[in-house]
Amino acid sequence: MKSWAPLAVILALFVVLGSQFISKTPYREGGYLMNQPNSDGTWAYAADIGAPDERQHANYIARIADGGGLAVLKPGAEDLYESYQAHQPPLYYWLGAGWAKLTNADHETLEGGRKLRWLNLLIGAGTIVGFYYLVFWGTGRREPALAAAAFGLMPMHIALSAAVSNDPLLILLCTWTLAATAWAMADGWSLKRALLIGGLAGLALITKTSALALVPAIGAAFIVSAIQSKRRSEKVNWSLFGVAAGLALMIVIPWWLRNQQLYGDPLAMSVFKEAFTGNPTAEPFIERLGFFGYFKVVYILAMQSFVGVFGYMDIFVLEHQGLGAVNRFYWGSLLIIGILKILGLVGVFKKSGDELDAKRAGFWWPVLIFGLVIDLLFFQFNLQYFQAQARYLYPAAGVVAALLGFGFWIALKSRAHLAWAAAAGFFALLSLAAVRQLDLSFELRLNPPPEVVSGL
């Protein structure tokens, strides 16, 4: 089957499921958090229970659209709740402002919020295509590439793509940077490809600071390519690395200089720490649970969230059926995903005659290094703040997609042409269960029983 037909099916499923997340998730509505109670056992009230930080991202978009210019984060400001995303790099907000004008979206209304969400759904569709090309350019194999694209139907990826946030654009740019790197490693480095890689990396850096994880990945790609070229007695053109790095720096340095002038810190990390004093820090949890106990909780929640935990990390799939059903859903899903990732790793390192040729196999090094750096950044962030949300891991979605694509391909080796269908069916079923949960759970949080609010 031609690769475009299965890819079109995957994209159609993504849009249909994403539209359900868009319509079912509240926008700028307050409610109660069932799984994050007050000290007296009553449900805690939250001013916004939809997608995390969505209100603040929409406010920044509106500021740009209204001609207010780039925002400045001011710790202790009266409007800090509405503006605490003001330190973020600007690319997503420029795109969002253009989209808001194009669609005539009022960020304060439900209709306007849904229009803004559709921008990210389109971006998420572009990421799915990126999953495909990351594996296809890296390995030359269509079957695992199509199965990798199906990872885009994971519930959490759809939820992120159906919310107003800069995360989907970061995921898109990181995925395509890795894909372009795989292309250069497989087919040869050139000025055009170096410029493409540097441009994508630079755009990622002015979307979110965590894109710095691309730097060691791109460096590893050049090193691996140099080693392979030396083995073939070919000349290594290191100037192309300078071209890629130089273009990325040209794009991001103006933003870093602005931050240095405003905050005395090019990455704006100092003002972030000063402004986010109300967030739960890791220290009291570590004191109570111990270091390993704390990170056990962090990674259990992160693994569940990787599949999909919604609202402000409060809505779990099948929660209306009880804790047993919740555990079966998540741990069953994670078991299957874990087995497939192990199979994918086997495919990475397998060295038999008709498997990946030596030149293309090298593309895995920058991919896996990027995933490792994102994991380390997540670990470091949770050393400071209790933020067990997998959305901080999703910039490396392309890494997971590639491994799972190979996992499905190896598992269905005798019917490799069906690997994409198995992957799409599996992830779509998970997302259908999540979509079904949204109505039940958000209704409960918007209109909870009186006794859980009053404590009676």
Task: Choose among 122, 130, 132: nearest CA to 92.
Answer: 122
Got the DSSP string for 95-146?
HHHHHHHHHT--TTSHHHHHHHHHHHHHHHHHHHHHHHHHHHHHH--HHHHH
Q: What DSSP character marks residue 385?
A: B
In which band, very low, low, confident or very high, does the pLDDT at 279 lie, cut at 50, 70 and 90?
confident
- Tell me if 438 sits within 8 A of 21, measured CB to CB: yes
Report whether pLDDT(58) > 70: yes
- Tell me if 177 sits within 8 A of 215, measured CB to CB: no
Taking only the tens place, the pLDDT of each residue in 8-39 is 999 999 999 999 999 999 999 999 999 988 88
Task: Choose among 27, 18, 9: nearest CA to 446.
Answer: 27
In which band, very low, low, confident or very high, does the pLDDT at 103 lie, cut at 50, 70 and 90?
very high
| Encoded tokens for 277 | 């004093």
Three-state DSSP class for residue 36: strand
* Residue where the block lists tokens 């392979």: 228
| Encoded tokens for 17 | 């499921």
Taking only the tens place, the pLDDT of each residue in 360-416 is 678 899 999 999 999 999 999 999 999 999 999 999 999 999 999 999 999 998 788
- Tell me if 420 sits within 8 A of 150, measured CB to CB: yes
- Tell me if 81 sits within 8 A of 30, measured CB to CB: no
Taking only the tens place, the pLDDT of each residue in 298-351 is 999 999 999 999 999 999 999 999 999 999 999 999 999 999 999 998 877 765
- The bridge status of strand 31-37 relative to strand 43-46 is antiparallel
Cα dihedral across residues 260, 262, 265, 268: positive or negative: negative
- 316: which strand partners? 309
* Amino acid (1-letter code) at residue 176: W
Taking only the tens place, the pLDDT of each residue in 145-193 is 999 999 999 999 999 999 999 999 999 999 999 999 999 998 889 999 9
What is the rounded average pLDDT of the residues 73-95? 91
Three-state DSSP class for residue 386: coil
- Tell me if 130 sits within 8 A of 175, measured CB to CB: yes
- The bridge status of strand 309-310 relative to strand 43-46 is unpaired
Got the DSSP string for 278-310?
TSPBHHHHHHHH-HHHHHHHHHHHHHHHHHHEE
